[in-house]
Amino acid sequence: MAVTIRDVAKAAGVSISTVSRALAAPEQVAEATRVHVQETARAMGYRPNRAARGLITGRTGSIGLVVPDLENPFFGSVCKGVQARARAAGYAVFIADTDEDPMVEAEVVRSLAKQVDGVILCSVRSTDADVEHFAAESPIVLVNRKLGDIPSITFDNGGGLRSVMAHLVALGHRKIAYAAGPVTSWSNSERTAAFRAFAFESPDLDLVELGNFPPFFSGGIQAGDLAIASGATAVVSFNDLVAVGLIDRLRQRGLSAPHDISVAGFDNVPVSTLVWPNLTTVDFPRVQMGRASVDLLLDTVLERAGAGRVVPDIPVELIVRQSTGVAPVRAIERPDDRPILQTQLSGT
Amino acid sequence: MAVTIRDVAKAAGVSISTVSRALAAPEQVAEATRVHVQETARAMGYRPNRAARGLITGRTGSIGLVVPDLENPFFGSVCKGVQARARAAGYAVFIADTDEDPMVEAEVVRSLAKQVDGVILCSVRSTDADVEHFAAESPIVLVNRKLGDIPSITFDNGGGLRSVMAHLVALGHRKIAYAAGPVTSWSNSERTAAFRAFAFESPDLDLVELGNFPPFFSGGIQAGDLAIASGATAVVSFNDLVAVGLIDRLRQRGLSAPHDISVAGFDNVPVSTLVWPNLTTVDFPRVQMGRASVDLLLDTVLERAGAGRVVPDIPVELIVRQSTGVAPVRAIERPDDRPILQTQLSGT
DNA sequence: CGAAACAGTGAAAAGGTTTGCAGAATGTAC
DNA sequence: GTACATTCTGCAAACCTTTTCACTGTTTCG
DSSP secondary structure string for all residues of A4-23: -HHHHHHHHTS-HHHHHHHH
Strands (E), chain B: 62-67, 92-97, 118-122, 140-143, 152-153, 175-179, 206-210, 234-237, 262-267, 280-283, 317-319
The angle subtended at Cα A286 by Cα A285 and Cα A292, nearest 5°, is: 95
Kindly report which amino acid residue has its CA closest to the C1' atom of nucleotide C14.
Answer: A56
Give the list of residues 6+ apart from residue A200 with CB closer than 8 angstroms, or none. Answer: none
Strand partners for A207: A176
Degrees to nearest 5, angle at CA A9 with A3 and A12: 110
Number of Cβ pairs closer than 8 Å across A and B?
Answer: 129
Interface of A with B in 274-303 (CB under 8 A): 274-276
Angle (deg, nearest 10), helices A16-24 and A5-12: 100
Rg (alpha carbons) of chain A, rounded to whole number: 27
Question: Pick from B76, B87, B97: which is nearest to A73 by CB?
Answer: B76
Nearest residue in A to B57, CA atom: A51
CB contact, 8 Å: A79 with chain B? yes
Average pLDDT, chain B: 89
- Where b means 16+ CB within 10 Å and e means fewer, A138-148 reads bbbbbbbbeee
Cβ–Cβ gap A70/B83 under 8 Å? yes
Closest CA to the C1' of D15: that residue is B56
Half-sphere exposure of B80 (CA within 13 A, CB side): 23
Q: What is the pLDDT of residue A28?
A: 84
Q: How far is A334 from chain B (nearest CA, A)?
A: 33
- Residues with Cβ within 8 Å of A148's Cβ and at least 6 positions away in sequence, in order, are A132, A135
B303 burial (CB, 10 Å; 0-12 / 13-18 / 19+) is exposed
Q: Which nucleotide is nearest to A32 (CA to C1')?
A: C8
Q: Which fold has domain A5-48?
A: 434 Repressor (Amino-terminal Domain) (1.10.260)
pLDDT, tens digit, 9 for 90 and up, residues B29-63: 888 888 999 999 999 988 899 889 988 888 888 99
Among A195, A240, A234, which residue's Cα sits nearest to residue A220? A240
Nucleotides of D under 7 A from a protein CB: 7-12, 14-20
Inform me whether the C-beta atom of residue B144 falls under 8 Å from chain A C-beta atoms. no
Residues 21-60 of A with CB under 8 A from B: 47, 49-52, 54-55, 60
Nearest residue in chain A measured CA to CA from B98: A84
Residues sharing a CB contact under 8 Å with residue A260, sequence separation 6 or more, in sequence order: A250, A328, A330
Residue nearest to nucleotide C13 (CA to C1'): A56
Distance in Å, residue B45 CA to nucleotide C26 C1': 34
Q: For residues B240-254, give the mean pLDDT.
A: 97
**What percentage of residues in chain B have a pLDDT greater than 70?**
92
DSSP designation for A313: P
Helix extents (H) in B138-285: 157-170, 186-201, 217-230, 240-252
pLDDT band at residue B110 under the 50/70/90 scheme: confident
Check CB contact under 8 Å for B93 and A94.
Answer: yes
pLDDT of residue A310: 74
Higher pLDDT: B183 or A340? It is B183
| Stronger pLDDT, B142 or B1, i.e. the higher one | B142
Parts of chain A with a pLDDT under 70: 1, 301-309, 330-348
Task: Determine the pLDDT at residue B179.
Answer: 98
Establish whether the CB of B57 is closer than 7 Å to any nucleic acid atom in strand C.
Answer: yes
| Mean pLDDT score, B296-301 | 84
Q: What is the pLDDT of residue A345?
A: 37
Q: Please, what is the Cα angle at A315 between A314 and A320, to 5 degrees? A: 140
Contact B97 A77 (CB under 8 A): no
For residue B274, give the nearest of A49, A114, A271 by CB distance.
A271
Cα distance between residue A248 and residue A227, in whole Å: 13
Partner-chain residue, chosen from A77, A87, A95, that has the shortest CB–CB distance to B71 = A77
Of all residues in chain A, the one with the smallest CA distance to B74 is A71
Residues of chain B found within 8 Å of residue A52, distances taken between Cβ atoms: 51, 55
Dihedral of CA atoms B155, B156, B161, B166 in degrees, nearest 10, equals: -140
pLDDT-above-90 percentage for chain B: 65
Q: What pLDDT, on a 0 to 100 scale, did the predictor assign at position B25?
A: 83
Query: Which of B26, B4, B1, B25 shows the shortest CA–CA distance to B16?
Result: B4
CB spacing of A276 vs B276 below 8 angstroms:
yes
Kindly report the nearest CA distance between residue A47 and chain B, in angstroms.
8
Closest nucleotide (C1' vs CA) to A54 is: D17
Q: Assess contact for B151 and B141: CB atoms under 8 A.
A: yes
Q: Which nucleotide is nearest to A2 (CA to C1')?
A: D16
Q: Would you say A200 and A342 are in contact if contact means Cβ atoms under 8 Å apart?
A: no
Residue spans of the domains in chain B: they are 5-48, 62-150+288-314, 157-279+321-346
Average pLDDT estimate for B74-88: 94
Fold of A62-150+288-314: Rossmann fold (3.40.50)
CATH code for B157-279+321-346? 3.40.50.2300
CB-strand contact B2/C, under 7 Å:
yes
Helix, coil or strand: residue A109? helix
What is the rounded distance in angstroms from the CA atom of residue B76 to the CA atom of residue B68? 11
In chain A, where does DSSP find H-type helix?
A: 5-12, 16-24, 31-44, 50-57, 73-88, 102-113, 128-137, 157-170, 186-201, 217-230, 240-252, 286-302, 342-345
> Across the interface, which of A55, A76, A97 has its CB nearest the CB of B71?
A76
B305-328 mean pLDDT: 86
Closest residue on chain A to B108 (Cα) = A87
Same fold for the domain at A5-48 and the one at A157-279+321-345?
A: no
Q: Report CA(B9)–C1'(C21) in Å, whole number.
A: 21
pLDDT value at residue A337: 44
- Whether B5 CB is under 7 Å from strand C: yes
- Chain A residues lying within 8 Å of B96, measured CB to CB: 83, 87, 92-93
- C1' (C19) to CA (B54) span, angstroms: 14
Bridge-based pairing of strands B317-319 and B280-283 is antiparallel
- Is the minimum CB–CB distance between A114 and chain B shorter than 8 Å? yes
* Strand C within 7 A of A333 CB: no
How far A140 CA lies from chain B's nearest CA (Å)? 17
Instruction: Give which of B49, B45, B66, B46 is closest to B57, Cα–Cα.
Output: B49
Q: How far is the CA of A22 from the C1' of C6 (A)?
A: 19
Q: What is the pLDDT of residue A335?
A: 46
* Fold classification of A157-279+321-345 (topology level): Rossmann fold (3.40.50)
Residue A258 dihedral angles phi and psi, to the nearest 5°: -90, 5
pLDDT for B90 equals 87
Q: Say whether B119 sits in a helix, a strand or coil.
A: strand
Query: Is the CB of A79 less than 8 angstroms away from the CB of B70?
Result: yes
Do the Cβ atoms of A266 and A162 come closer than 8 Å? Answer: no
Q: Which residues of chain A lie closer than 8 angstroms to B251, CB-CB?
A: 276
Residues 15-74 of A with CB under 7 A from strand C: 15-18, 21, 28-34, 52, 55-56
Q: How many CA atoms lie within 13 A of B222 on its CB side?
A: 15
* Segment holding A176, helix H or strand E: strand A175-179
**In this complex, do B69 and A55 lie within 8 Å of one another by their Cβ atoms?**
no
At residue B265, φ and ψ (nearest 5 deg) are -125, -170
Q: Output the pLDDT for position A86.
A: 94
How far apart, in whole angstroms, are the C-alpha atoms of residue B310 and residue A288?
42
